[in-house]
Chains A and B, each alone.
Chain A
Amino acid sequence: MGKRIGLEVSLSAAEAVKMANVDCIAAYPITPQTHIVEHLSELVNNGELDAEFIPVESEHSAMSVSAGVSAVGARAFTCTSSQGLSLMNEIVHIVASMRLPIVMILANRSMSGPISIWNDHTDVMSIRDCGWIQVFANNGQEVFDNVLFAYRVAESQKVMLPLIINIDGFILTHVIEPVEFWEKEQVKQYLPDFKPVYTMHPDRPVTMGGVGMPYVFSEAKVAQDEPLIQSKAEIITAWKELGDVVGRYYKPVETYRMEDAETLFVTQGSFGETVSLVVDALRNEGESVGLVMDRLWRPFPFDEFREATSQAKNLIVIDRAISYGGQGGPLAIDIRSALYKGENQPNITNFICGLAGRDVTINDFKNIYHRAMEKIKENPMEEDFEYYGVRGK
């Protein structure tokens, strides 16, 4: 068993990147991602990590440099938040189509405006359809484990796609948590060297990123979506084998206190841990409630969701992002689609809360629970959503 160390999550994430023996880190500073890249530059400058640290002049270049790094067959890491993600948006889409297995930590932060440095999921939701594998983390240990998992999955020749690890800004990035490090042997056992099918090398010239004329474009895009959909199998295997190595087992969808639960909370990211306490409290009060946490966001785990919710009467979906003018938050929209015409069709209520780092406490979730029950009683088929805790509403 590895050492258990109390460390800021950003720093332990950087330590995991070091354990993954990355070759190049290209990054541009943006709050709340900064501590991760600061620590990585320290590791490189102190000779603890043999890698190139490339302090680029923008996030657009961070992703562009990473594209070049990955194209020659080197292991690339980058890291950003909100506005930085928006600036690199163009290249985020392109590297997925080029099948370059870059790993990025996204320290989730709200999109301007108004400008805010605090946490919500509006940044990642803005690139939901960018073709990357996307996972969320509940705590520091998951972040650490998922960095090694990320390279294993992304670089698998069956997958060859970039991967985003979502970490809630400040709420996760800036807290100190006990994290169990991996032994070097465990990393060796779990994460093979990066062996891409094609690389840029004069001995074996290839053309990458050619023009997709209309007669091939659709085929190219389907050839990109299929491996993303199929990557779920590889993801499940990689999490299972991660468990076999370090004893922590992860699944695309996690559940908590599901026994006979009539009502299920559905969360993404660090809300999961808070809501688990709420579930305990509500259970003590005699309520029949459980929790479903979405870890894998893309490819969306349809089967796992349907299975997890197969016995539920009511779902309370918590979104930390807005889909302006849409049918609730992005998570609720996907869940409604997933369960439409399913065998079990629970009532779905949706609450949008915690925008720009506004605290959502145990009491707030209790209020949400009671409000949801009220709404379902009033109109069980209602498919709208509510902003929770907004003044004047």
Chain B
Amino acid sequence: MEIVEPTNVYAYKLITKKDYFAPGHRACQGCAEALAVRLVAKALGRNVIVASATGCMEIISSPWPFTSWRVPWIHVAFENAAAVASGVEAGMKVLMRKGKVPKKKITFLAMAGDGGTSDIGVQALSGALERGHDFVYICYDNEAYMNTGIQRSSSTPYGASTTTSPAGKVIPGQMTWKKNMPEIAAAHSIPYVATACPSYPIDLVEKVKKAAKIKGPAYIHMLSVCPTGWRLPPELSIKAGRLAVETGVFPLYEVDHGRYRFTEKVEKLRPVEEYLKIQGRFRHLSEEMRDTIQKRVVEEYKKLVKKVQMTQGD
């Protein structure tokens, strides 16, 4: 982490200074999700239409009469960002075909949180991926329903204490494993799936640009550290994201037309403990539970390594 990567030196040239997601929004201090949204907006530029689900990013960015959006942005409801984006894409396509709107490359972006994606929005998302709309879907995963007050979702990791999976005397927090949404997206055989994290801004921007360029649906799963919900100091957001990747908890990879590839190679995984210990939501974990998590992380990582080996073929 202390080593400066060569690309970092040139970062200012690779990422535009222009902001399409304006400052002054109402996100919490240290919100890595707002940072991710800002980077995504930079990567996509001005020729984009955004469909947003209900959630943190919607309430912090659009309290009428204010808006943080310098690009067209629409919010309809919680579970339907993928469907609204489908309509935006289809409507624009037909208007351009009929000559009612001048032809031009526009990226259609749908965005939702982990609840809006892996729980209540999974049906609309699956439908849109299957129908093959030319759009990018980004799930900003902060691993619980943070907007309503840190309730557990199917994306909450095992062991985490939330307001509906509290660390009790009998049941010590979330007892289920995180739903693997990128794999569910990949199972639709769409052209592009990737994971990303704003702790790795260059990687994030490259993936978003690639997703926008590819014809057909693309899915990006964005780990978005939430200091408020994860019970960690705001200044540790970026570090927590790095540790998630370096411990193998959240590997950065992409599935490009079925081919798996690590985009951030981790030579030797750090102990998961380093990631867990900085977060209050894991404070109560017994040694046994920590071991269980460590084992699971390594198992999952190995599975992913196999997929990379199996699908690269060159």
Write the residues of chain A forming the contact surface with B, with a CB cutoff of 8 angstroms. Answer: 23-24, 26, 50-52, 54-58, 60-61, 64-74, 76, 90-91, 94-95, 98, 193, 200-202, 204-213, 216, 220
Contact = CB atoms under 8 A, between A and B. Distances in A.
Nearest to B26: A211
Interface in B83-107: 83-95, 97-98, 100-101, 104, 106
23 contacts: A50-B94, A54-B90, A56-B86, A57-B124, A60-B123, A61-B124, A64-B87, A64-B124, A70-B87, A72-B87, A74-B90, A74-B95, A94-B77, A95-B76, A98-B76, A202-B49, A205-B72, A207-B62, A209-B62, A209-B76, A211-B58, A211-B62, A213-B64
Nearest to A23: B94
Contacts of B74: 67-68, 71, 200, 207-209
A44 B58 CA distance: 36
Contacts of B64: 210-213, 216, 220
B90 A205 contact: no
Given A202-B46, A207-B73, A210-B75, A69 B98 contact: no
A61 B76 contact: no
Interface string B57-68: 011001111110
Contacts of A60: 79-80, 83, 123-124
A100 B115 CA distance: 27
B70 interface: yes
B121 to A, nearest CB: 10
Nearest to B71: A205
Contact of B87 (A69, A202, A209): A69
Given A67-B87, A68-B90, A73-B100, 11 more contacts: A24-B87, A56-B127, A56-B131, A61-B83, A64-B84, A65-B84, A68-B89, A71-B74, A202-B104, A205-B69, A213-B64
B47 interface: yes
A77 B94 CA distance: 14
Interface residues of B, number: 50
The 4 closest A-B pairs by CB, nearest first: A68-B87, A57-B127, A64-B83, A210-B62
Contact of B94 (A51, A209, A212, A216): A51
A55 B131 contact: yes
B91 A201 contact: no
Contact of B98 (A50, A70, A91): A50
A70 B83 CA distance: 13
A286 B46 CA distance: 74
B119 to A, nearest CB: 14
B51 interface: yes
A212 to B, nearest CB: 6
Contact of B91 (A72, A90, A204): A72
Interface string B106-138: 100000000000000001101110110000000
A275 B207 CA distance: 66
A58 B131 CA distance: 13
Contacts of A210: 62-64, 66-67, 75
Most chain A Cβ neighbours within 10 Å, of B47, B86, B101, B128: B86
A195 B209 CA distance: 33
A54 B87 contact: yes
B27 interface: no
B48 interface: yes
B106 A65 contact: no
A56 to B, nearest CB: 6
Given A52-B93, A201-B101, A213 B63 contact: yes
A167 B62 CA distance: 39
Most chain B Cβ neighbours within 10 Å, of A56, A66, A193: A56
B90 A202 contact: no
Contact of A73 (B79, B101, B130): B101
Contacts of B124: 57-58, 60-61, 64
Contacts of A64: 76-77, 80, 83-84, 86-87, 124
A24 B124 CA distance: 18
Contacts of A200: 49, 72, 74, 88
A96 to B, nearest CB: 12
A390 to B, nearest CB: 39
Given A65-B86, A210-B63, A91 B106 contact: no
